């Protein structure tokens, strides 16, 4: 074999190895972009926990003040359409806390990554009713908060707490 043949063989082998290597890198990168939606885990990051608790607190404040416009905006769109919720009937279709002075405190929270930028949080919290004598526990309350970090948006879905009741 002459020198040209060796050079062509070496170029061919390098091209094939480069293609294989590049293909493996691209496959690994695409696996990192697609988060496994079945990986639900306990939230341990304090910042995430308190951010999500703040979203839930806003929702409770909208409920107690009967702020229909804010409630419609913050409720999950598919939840609104499935339950045929409108601005006119919203206070009859969701929990009615009007006239009560309530505070909300998350006690346990799970996170489900939906994508790199969107996470869904399942929250178990406690409602406290404030009075002159202090606050008394009003009961557990469950919510799902979905946060889109890329657009700085969140939405709320009332939840039956099934995940927490099975523990």
Stretch 43-66: mean pLDDT:
93
- Sequence-ordered alpha helix ranges (H) in 2-141: 3-33, 46-64, 68-74, 77-82, 90-93
**pLDDT tens-digit readout, 143-166:** 999 999 888 899 999 988 877 776
19 pLDDT higher than 70:
yes
pLDDT one-digit tens code per residue, 37-47: 468 999 999 99
- pLDDT for position 6: 76
pLDDT digits (tens, 9 = 90+) for 77-132: 999 999 999 999 998 889 888 778 888 999 999 999 999 999 999 999 999 988 77
Work out the mean pLDDT of the chain and round it to a whole number: 85
pLDDT at 46: 92
Q: Please tell me the pTM assigned to this model.
A: 0.73
Q: Is 18 exposed, middle or buried (0-12, 13-18, 19+ CB in 10 A)?
A: exposed
């Amino acid at each position: 074999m002459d020198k040209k043949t060796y050079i062509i063989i070496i170029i061919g082998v390098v091209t094939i190895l480069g293609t294989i290597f590049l293909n493996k890198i691209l496959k690994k990168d695409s696996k990192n972009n697609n988060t496994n939606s079945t990986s639900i885990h306990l939230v341990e990051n304090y910042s995430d926990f308190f951010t999500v608790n703040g979203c839930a607190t806003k929702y409770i404040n909208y409920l107690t003040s009967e702020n229909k416009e804010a409630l419609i905006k913050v409720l999950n769109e598919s939840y609104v359409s499935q339950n045929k919720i409108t601005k006119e009937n919203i206070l009859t279709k969701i929990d009615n806390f009007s006239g009560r002075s309530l505070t909300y405190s998350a006690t346990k929270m799970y996170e489900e990554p939906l994508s790199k930028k969107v996470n869904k949080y399942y929250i178990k919290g406690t409602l406290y009713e404030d009075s002159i004598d202090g606050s008394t526990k009003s009961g557990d309350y469950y919510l799902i908060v979905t946060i889109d970090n890329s657009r700085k948006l969140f939405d709320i879905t009332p939840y039956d707490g099934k995940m927490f009741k099975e523990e």
